[in-house]
Amino acid sequence: MSKTLRLILGDQLNSNHSWFQTVDDSVTYVLMEIRSETDYATHHIQKITAFFAAMRNFANELKSKKHQVIYLHLNDADNLQTFDKNIQYLIDKHQFTNFEYQLPDEFRLDELLKNFCKTLSIPTKTFDSEHFMSSRNELGAFFEGKKTFLMESFYHKMRKKHNVLMQGDKPLTGKWNYDGDNRKKLPKNHKPTSPLVFDNDVSKIVSEINKTDIKTIGTIDATNFVWPINRSQSLELLDFFVRECLSLFGSYQDAMTPNEWSLYHSRISFSMNIKMISPQEVIEKAIEEWKNRPDEIEYNQLEGFVRQIIGWREYMRGIYWYKMPEFATMNYFDNQEKLPDWFWTGKTKMNCLKDAISQSLKFAYAHHIQRLMITGNFALLAGVHPDEVDAWYLGIYIDAIEWVEITNTRGMSQFADGGIVGTKPYVSSASYIDKMSHYCGSCFYKKAVKTGDKACPLNSLYWNFYDKNEDKLGKNPRIGMMYNVWRKMQPEAKAELLQQADYYLKNINDL
C-alpha cells in the first residue's frame, strides 16, 4: 500500500495550499521543532517562540480537519534535531513509500533537501508553496542580459501581470509610483493609532526553550505575547491595518519617533513570511478598503503599501534566487569591523540607535526605515563586515527569513552587492535622521555639530565613508553632488572630520 510522508517547514503554514484541500489517509504530514533551525543563527526568543506557536496551531488545525499529522516537539526523546535524520527515521519506522515537500524559500534548506533526496531509495516529489505572486526564477528571466535590476521595472511587470491598480496596460491615475508623497515627518504632537496587539500565552513554549542551551537574544512577555500565531489573528491584524492605519501609511511610512514602535505600519510581515496569509489577499484587502473609503484613503497611501508587497517583497525574493549562493559572500567595500557591543544591549548615547535597538530587543521588530537608515546606516558608516550585519538582522527580527533578510541587509542596506539591489549606498548624516524623526532634539550628541565635543558621530562618519570609498563611488551619478561638496571643502576641515571619525571608530563601544 502506498504511504506518503509530506514535510511542512516552519514557514510553510499555508492552510489554503492544495495539499490540504482533500483528506487522504495514505498521506501523513510532519512538522518539526529542531535544533538545526534554532541554532543556525542567534535568534530573538520571540522569533523562535512565534515559529513554534504558529507551527503547533497549524498542526492542530490540520488534525481538526482529519489530516494525519506527526509533530516533533523540541524536547521529544526521538527528535534527532535535523530534517534529514528525522525524515529518514520516520520513513524507516512507518515504512513510507513516498516523500514529498514544498520547495523551501531558503537556499540552505533547498540544497539540504535536494541532496538528502538523492540518498533516499523511495520516490520523491516537490511542490510549489503556492504563496508568492512570481515564480522563483521569474525575475532572473525578466532581467536576463541586463546590467541593472531596477525594482521599479519589476514592479511594473507585476502590476501588469496581476492586473493590480491598472487600467488596461496603463497604471490607474496614469502614474506608477507615489513615493515622493510618502516622506513626511510625524507632526510633533501627533499621537499615532495604538497598535493592535495580542495576549497569547506562550509560557509553555518558552519554558521548553529554557530547558535547552539554545542561545537567544531579546526579551519576551510569555503570558502576553503580542504577535499573531495563527491565521485568524493574522487576518485580524490585516483588518486592523486597512481599517485604522492605511489612510496614513504612505505619508508616515518613513517617519520615526521615540517610544512609538508600530506607527502606521501593518506588521503583517511575520504572518506573510510564514504564509499564514498571502500577498494576494493582503493587496486585495487593501484595495477593497480604498474603494470603500475613497474620501478617507488617498491613492498614494494605497500605492505605497501595494509597492511594498507586490514590488519590494517579490523583487527581493527574485534577486535572492537569481544571485544565491554568491550573494551571501559579497563584500563590495571589503568592510571588516565587528558590530559595536551596544548593538546587543541598546546602551548607547545616540538616541536614534538606542531607540531602534532597544525596540528591536523588546519587540523583535523595527520598521524598514529604522532598519535601513538607523542601524543599517550606522553599520555601513562604521565599516562593519556584512556577515556581522546579516547575522544580527537575521537573528533579531521576527520576520527575518534569509530570502528577505539578506537581500535587504547585504544588498540594500550595506551595498555589499556593489549595486545589484540599490543604485547607491543608503547612508546619511544627522540631517536626514532629524528630518524624518524626533530623535535628535533630546540626544546627548548635537545634530548640527560635525567635530569637537558632543559632535554627532553620524556627521564625521558620513564624510569618512565617502572619503574612504571614493575609488568605488566617485563616478556614481546619484552621489556626485556629495563628492563635489567634499572636494570643495578646505583641507583643514576635511582633516578635522576624518580625525573625528577616526576617534569615534577607535572608541566605538563608548559612543
| Same domain membership, residue 152 and residue 118 | no
CATH number of the domain bearing residue 47: 3.40.50.620
- Helix locations, 65-164, DSSP H: 83-94, 107-119, 138-142, 151-162
Kindly tell me if the per-residue pLDDT of 180 is higher than 80. Answer: no
pLDDT tens column, 398-434: 999 999 999 999 999 999 999 999 889 999 999 999 9
Listed in sequence order, the residues at least 6 apart from 212 whose beta carbon sits closer than 8 Å to its beta carbon are 35, 74, 75
- Specify which residues 27 forms β-bridges with: 4
From 73, 99, 127, the end of a domain falls on: 127
In DSSP terms, 4 is beta-bridged to: 27, 98
- Mean pLDDT, the chain, rounded, equals 95
- Calculate mean pLDDT across residues 63-85: 97
pLDDT computed for residue 125 by the predictor:
97
* Residue 334 is assigned to a structural domain of this protein: no
Q: Both 239 and 285 in a single domain? A: yes
At residue 444 the predicted structure's pLDDT band, cuts being 50, 70 and 90, is: very high
Helix axes 83-94, 107-119, angle to 10 degrees: 40
Do 169 and 120 have their domain in common?
A: no
Q: Is residue 307 pLDDT above 90, yes or no? A: yes
Q: How many residues does the chain have?
A: 511
Residue 6 has phi, psi (to 5 degrees) of: -115, 125
pLDDT above 90 covers a percentage of the chain that reads 92
pLDDT tens-digit readout, 8-49: 999 999 999 999 999 999 999 999 999 999 999 999 999 999
Same domain, 311 and 348: no
Residues 352 and 252 in one domain: no
Q: Does the structure show a pLDDT above 80 at 188?
A: yes
| 58 occurs within a structural domain | yes
Is position 387 within any domain?
Answer: yes
Q: How confident is the model at residue 481 (pLDDT cuts 50, 70, 90)?
A: confident
Q: Is the pLDDT of residue 182 over 80?
A: no
Same domain, 19 and 82: yes
Q: Which residue has the cell 490585516?
A: 238
For residues 344-353, b (16+ Cβ closer than 10 Å) or e, as one string?
bebebebbbb
What percent of the chain lies above the pLDDT cut of 70?
100
- Residue at which a domain ends, from 127, 153, 188: 127
Q: What is the pLDDT of residues 95-123, one digit of tens each?
A: 999 999 999 999 999 999 999 999 999 99
Q: Does the residue 241 lie in any domain?
A: yes
Residue with cell 517610544: 259
Q: Is the pLDDT of residue 266 over 90?
A: yes
- Confidence tier at 477 by pLDDT (50, 70, 90): confident
Region 353-381 average pLDDT: 96
Number of structural domains, the chain? 3
- Please, what is the end-to-end C-alpha distance for the chain in angstroms? 67
pLDDT-derived band at 152 (thresholds 50, 70, 90) equals very high
Same domain, 104 and 79: yes
Based on the fold, state whether residues 122 and 167 are members of the same structural domain: no
Phi (first) and psi of residue 346, to 5 degrees: 80, 5
Mean pLDDT of 252-267: 92
Residues 6+ positions from 251 with CB-CB distance below 8 Å: 181, 182, 184, 264, 300, 301
Residue by residue, DSSP assigns 249-266 as: HHHHTT-B-TT-SSTT--
pLDDT tens for each residue of 382-392: 999 999 999 99
- Quick check: is 332 in a domain? no
**Res 475: pLDDT:** 86
Q: In this structure, is residue 330 part of a structural domain?
A: no
Does 86 score more than 80 pLDDT? yes
pTM recorded for the entire structure:
0.94
pLDDT at residue 259 in the model: 84
Report yes or no on 335 lying in a domain. no
Same domain, 120 and 149: no
Sign of torsion over alpha carbons 220, 224, 229, 235: negative
CATH of the domain at 373: 1.10.579.10
Last residue of a domain, one of 323, 357, 379: 323
Task: With both helix axes pointing from N to C terminus, report the angle between 491-506 and 457-468 in degrees, rounded to the nearest 10.
Answer: 110
Nearest to 322, CA basis, from 115, 160, 162, 154: 154
Which pLDDT score, from 0 to 100, does residue 165 have? 95
Domain ranges, residue 97:
4-127
Cα 310 to chain centroid, rounded: 15
Q: Which residues pair with 337 in a beta bridge?
A: 384
**Section 228-252 average pLDDT:** 96
Residues 121 and 143 grouped into a single domain:
no
282-286, 362-366, 482-486: which has the minimum mean pLDDT? 482-486
What CATH number does residue 268 fall under? Answer: 1.25.40.80
Residues 152 and 287 in one domain: yes
Phi, psi of 5 (to 5 degrees): -105, 125
Do residues 372 and 455 both lie within one domain?
yes
201 in a domain, yes or no?
A: yes
